[in-house]
Amino acid sequence: MSAMNSDQLHRSTLGIYSTLMDEFNPSLQKLVLLGNSYIQAFQALAVTSEAYFSALSKIGEKAFHTSSSRSIGDVLVQISENQRRLTMELDGLFRWFSTEVLQEMDKNIRLDKDYISGSRTQYEMEVHNQAAALERQLRRGANQDCSEYVQFLRESHRDALKEEERRYRFLSEKHCGLIQYIARLMNKTGGSLQQRADAWADEVNATRGPEARRPTSVDNSVGMKDEMRKNREEPALGNIPSRAPSPQGSISRSTGARSVRAKADHQPGGSNPTLLPFSRGEMITVLVGQARNGWLYGRADSSSRQGWFPASFVKAVDDPPSTTSSGSSLRSSSSMSNMPDQSGGSSYNGGPPPPPPPPMSSSKQQEMQPITPTLDRRTESKSEKKRSKPHGQPELFPRGTNPFATVKLKPTNTDDRSAPILYRR
């Protein structure tokens, strides 16, 4: 810059003004229009997605009532509910994109049109006035002092460069915030959704095995429907207890061991030593009288092995046959809001029960709140403080009215549970 003469400085400054007015702001306005089209395309996608997965859910509900495909219908309904939840998360992302990016850009474009135009007019007037003063000095034969005029040109050129940089930085910060939102959304939903998808695939594949038997008579079909109805009324299993109860603890304090009979096979997969395998009809001695999250602890009479097993898989030896309630009905879509967190629930089909998700801590619950970056109003850095001007010289880019001067997007990132959670409508 030091090699530039006064004429080069003047032309370069005018070129920056022209770039901002004739190229940057029109490009930003076009970007806003494209962004609005992007949002409209997503809204159309969301409507189509809702129709598609609602139809899938209805098919799953029908499959759930059949005697052959109950577990598959359950998987179809869960897939539909998870897709609906994912669409809602994406809808929040696009609302934030519209409010914090597109509307902010559109507002600044409208303000900047008058701001830059007024600044250029003021600059050209000052250049004209100082050039006229120098010409009068030359006519009077006085010594021509161009230092103040050159200093004004240099400072004006430096300020114009900073304004150009400020506008590109504004655009970059807005879209950095957008990518951060997308990344946090992917981290929030991606891992858990992958686990659920794997569990659903395993549950569907399990129906291909020999344990997925089909009824061979009308009586067997009726019996299976009754059994399915009973299982439907039982609560979903919770977390498997992580360890066996202490012999000096709950076992010794229990009201006494009791015998139960297995009414379904329990053959857990994997190598979990805390689970008790057994076959249908086998006798089991319950060592802990009180169920924990739907699980009992006992010992198989045939193998003397001890472990946890679902309470719904056994029945008391001396219990009379129970009748199902006639008030059982198909679960509605509103009752399935917790379905993704149960990973199969009680829809056990001869194989090991899918592991339930770990309990959610309070900090994790706070992470599940809608992701809402906040706006942090910061003052300019020390290097951009207003420089002192010669007496009577105008300021080309006043900070108080500059639409790109002070707003900086700063996403919320804190583990302080006392901090308020902000919701943007």
Alpha carbon distance 259, 283 (integer Å): 7
pLDDT at 209 over 80: no
Residue type, position 262, single letter: A
Identical topology for domains 6-207+361-410 and 237-318: no
- Give the model's pLDDT for residue 396: 74
Alpha carbon distance 187, 200 (integer Å): 20
Phi/psi at 254 (5° precision): -70, 160
Which own/partner contact pairs does 17-20 have at CB distance under 8 Å and 24+ positions apart? 17/116, 17/119, 17/120, 17/123, 17/160, 19/164, 20/112, 20/116, 20/163, 20/164, 20/167
- Give the model's pLDDT for residue 171: 94
- Give the model's pLDDT for residue 183: 92
Confidence of residue 238 (pLDDT cuts 50, 70, 90): low
Alpha carbon distance 293, 353 (integer Å): 13
Asked which of 24-28, 92-96, 287-291, 299-303 is least confident by mean pLDDT, the reply is 287-291
First-residue to last-residue Cα distance in the chain: 48
pLDDT digits (tens, 9 = 90+) for 239-264: 677 666 654 444 444 445 788 999 88
Phi-psi region of 294 (alpha: psi -120 to 50; beta: other; left: phi over 0): left
Averaged pLDDT, 8-12 = 92
Nearest-5° Cα angle at 196, 192 to 202: 150
Asked which of 11-25, 149-163, 186-200, 224-238 is least confident by mean pLDDT, the reply is 224-238
Residue 234's beta-bridge partner residues?
Answer: none
Residue with the larger pLDDT of the pair 401 and 167: 167
Residue 242: which residues within 8 A CB-CB, separation 6 or more? Answer: 274
pLDDT at 56 over 70: yes
237-318 CATH choice from 3.50.50.60, 3.40.718.10, 2.30.30.40, 3.40.710.10: 2.30.30.40
The pTM of this model reads 0.51
Assign 75 to helix, strand or coil.
helix
Residue 222: Cβ within 10 Å count: 12
Confidence of residue 76 (pLDDT cuts 50, 70, 90): very high
6-207+361-410 homologous superfamily: Arfaptin homology (AH) domain/BAR domain (1.20.1270.60)
Residue with the larger pLDDT of the pair 44 and 409: 44
Nearest to 120 by CA among 269, 14, 270, 278: 14
pLDDT digits (tens, 9 = 90+) for 172-195: 999 999 999 999 999 888 888 888
pLDDT digits (tens, 9 = 90+) for 260-293: 999 888 888 766 778 888 888 899 998 887 777 7
Confidence of residue 142 (pLDDT cuts 50, 70, 90): low
Assign 412 to helix, strand or coil.
coil
Alpha carbon distance 280, 265 (integer Å): 5
Asked which of 71-80, 231-240, 332-341, 383-392 is least confident by mean pLDDT, the reply is 332-341
Helices marked H in 325-386: 362-367
Residue 309's beta-bridge partner residues?
Answer: 296
Phi-psi region of 387 (alpha: psi -120 to 50; beta: other; left: phi over 0): beta
Cβ atoms of 93 and 70 within 8 Å: the answer is: no
Phi/psi at 233 (5° precision): -85, -10
User: What is the full DSSP assignment across 185-210?
Assistant: HHHHHHHHHHHHHHHHHHHHHHTTST
Sheet holding 306-310, edge to edge: 306-310, 295-300, 283-286, 258-262, 314-316
- Give the model's pLDDT for residue 182: 92
- Give the model's pLDDT for residue 245: 66
Phi/psi at 160 (5° precision): -65, -40
Domain ranges of the chain: 6-207+361-410, 237-318
